[in-house]
Amino acid sequence: MNRKERRRQAKTGTVAPSGPAFGADDALAFLSGRRPAPAAPPPPAPSPKTDVSTAVQFRALDALRAGRSLSAVAEAVRAAGAVADQAWNAARPVVEARRQPGFACAAGCSWCCYQQVAVAPAEAVAIARHVETTFTPEQRAGLDARIAALDDKARGIGLWSRARLKSPCVMLAENGACSIYEVRPLRCRGVYSRDAGQCQWVMENPDQVYGNPDRHATPGPYPIEPAKIMDTALTGLARASQEAGLDWQALELTAALRLILGNPEVTERYLGGEAVLAPARLPERDDGDPAQGPTGRPG
Ligand code: SF4
């Protein structure tokens, strides 16, 4: 498969589970709107990317082997996050020390939570289960209202248009924390920055980011490694989902939650192998940069 085809698949969320990555080549682009640095020579086998993808695939399949239940899907997603987090935690000290300053990310900093959030269907179902089992009625009512309001504005739009809304993710709490931190999407786990001021500027100036044809020319403060690890984990989860007969194509978080929450029959149909979440797919066309074609949005 050539690069153009990989980009098309990554952008549309139709990357084949047998392929090398879930949009990994565009990970830096979706993080920062910047072009990834030239690829380094491939490392000697075994590839860490392959290890993460394969480990996630096997762990997720182990969870799903007993049957396509809601708890099995939640366990598969939990296992995927555990494998990916472990891989990133092992790599993080070296990546962070490679440049100064170190990572600026801290509790309460949420400039990166104002964009489109891409999730695997299994993640969306697991997040909905977490919400339905842990949120208070008041929290749930607030969330439902935020989902409806944002989905009405954001359904089907691309990265640039979504960034122009300057609307926070529906899961962002008032204190700037992620209200589903322990089950947050893999894409969100892949976002790190050495410069919170740059993250704020990007959030506040989407037209200067997406409208600047030279924005890929200089490296940004966003390390590519965590995004690649999380994207390879998504590849493993997609492969396991396909092998288990479950939908695996990427969704937009808000739209997916609107379909799932309060509608148990949707979850049942998903578990039955139907592509019932297809209306929440990421938009076919990325209006932020049709030529570059990043896939979606981190958290
Ligand atoms: S789900 Fe992701 S984008 Fe949304 S609040 Fe949590 S970390 Fe931020």
Residue 121: inside a domain:
yes
- Could you give phi then psi for residue 119, rounded to 5 degrees? -140, 155
Q: Is residue 286 part of a domain?
A: no
pLDDT digits (tens, 9 = 90+) for 42-71: 444 445 556 999 999 999 999 999 889 999
- Let me know if residue 260 belongs to a domain: yes
Considering the domain boundaries, does residue 89 fall inside one? Answer: yes
Would residue 178 count as lying in a domain? yes
pLDDT tens for each residue of 203-230: 999 999 989 888 777 778 999 999 999 9
Tens-place pLDDT, residues 272-299: 999 999 999 998 766 654 444 333 333 2
- Do the domain assignments include residue 232? yes
Any ligand 1 atom below 6 A from CB of 188: yes
What pLDDT is recorded for position 189? Answer: 97
Regarding the beta carbon of 171 and ligand 1, being less than 6 Å apart is answered yes
Instruction: With both helix axes pointing from N to C terminus, report the angle between 121-134 and 264-271 in degrees, rounded to the nearest 10.
Output: 140
Residue range of the domain that includes 108: 3-37+46-280
In the predicted model, what is the mean pLDDT of residues 139-154?
98
What 3-state DSSP class applies to 118? Answer: strand
**What local confidence, expressed as pLDDT, does residue 66 receive?**
84
* Cβ of 169 below 6 Å from ligand 1: yes
Pocket test for ligand 1, best of 30, 110, 111, 113 (most atoms within 8 A of CB): 113
Pocket test for ligand 1, best of 30, 85, 123, 171 (most atoms within 8 A of CB): 171
Q: Is residue 136 part of a domain?
A: yes
Distance 178 CA to ligand 1 centre (A): 5
Determine, yes or no, domain membership for 173: yes
Place of tokens 């209006």: 287
- Which of 33-42, 55-64, 183-192 is predicted least confidently? 33-42
How far CA 265 is from CA of 20, 271, 272, 277, in Å, comes to 33, 10, 10, 12
Domain count, the chain: 1
**In the predicted structure, residue 32 carries a pLDDT above the cut 60:** no
pLDDT at 109: 96
